[in-house]
């Protein structure tokens, strides 16, 4: 490419400063003043909606936990009733502790109080 047909001119407007458009600034302020409440309302709505969802998830989690604890309590009550049965206690006392019914000479009867009451 031959630059002989172009004319090189020095830039003469390098010190020019563009004037601010006051009308454009006013329009921008109006748009911001109109859109700010809308954006604030949408943000508030979104935040409250997320809080409601979070509370719902926490409620569901706590209900599940309560249900699990109810089942565990039922199992423990059943186990406690089983372990408190006299036949099981007697069987374990004989097998694990070597206990047996007392002999007649081991029995101690409280003496009756001459006044008629027990001590």
Q: What is the pLDDT of residue 117?
A: 57
Q: Residues 6 or more apart from 94 whose CB is under 8 A from it?
A: 100
3-state secondary structure the chain: CCHHHCCCCCCCCCCCCCCCCHHHHHHHHHHHHHHHHHHHHHHHHHHHHHHHHHHHHHHHHHHHHHHHHHHHHHHHHHHHHHHCCHHHHHHHHHHHHCCCCCCHHHCCCCCCCCCCCCC
| CA 80 vs CA 3, 31, 74, 77, 89: distances in Å | 104, 72, 10, 5, 12
Per-residue pLDDT of the chain (119 residues; tens, 9 = 90+): 566 677 777 777 777 777 888 899 899 999 999 999 999 999 999 999 999 999 999 999 999 999 999 999 999 999 999 989 999 899 989 999 999 888 888 888 888 766 755 55
With tokens 């490419």, the residue in question is: 1
Dihedral pair phi/psi, residue 12, rounded to 5° = -105, -10
* Global model pTM greater than 0.75: no
Q: What is the pLDDT of residue 45?
A: 98
Q: What is the pLDDT of residue 19?
A: 81
Alpha-carbon distance 100 to 28, whole Å?
98
Q: What is the pLDDT of residue 12?
A: 74
């Amino acid at each position: 490419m031959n630059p002989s047909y172009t004319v090189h001119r020095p830039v003469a407007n390098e010190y020019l400063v563009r004037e601010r458009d006051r009308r454009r600034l006013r329009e921008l302020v109006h748009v911001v003043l109109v859109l700010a409440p809308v954006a604030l309302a949408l943000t508030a709505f979104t935040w409250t909606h997320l809080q409601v969802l979070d509370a719902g998830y926490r409620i569901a989690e706590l209900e599940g936990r309560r249900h699990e604890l109810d089942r565990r309590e039922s199992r423990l009550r059943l186990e406690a009733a089983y372990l408190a049965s006299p036949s099981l206690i007697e069987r374990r006392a004989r097998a694990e502790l070597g206990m047996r019914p007392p002999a007649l000479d081991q029995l101690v009867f409280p003496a009756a109080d001459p006044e008629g009451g027990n001590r």
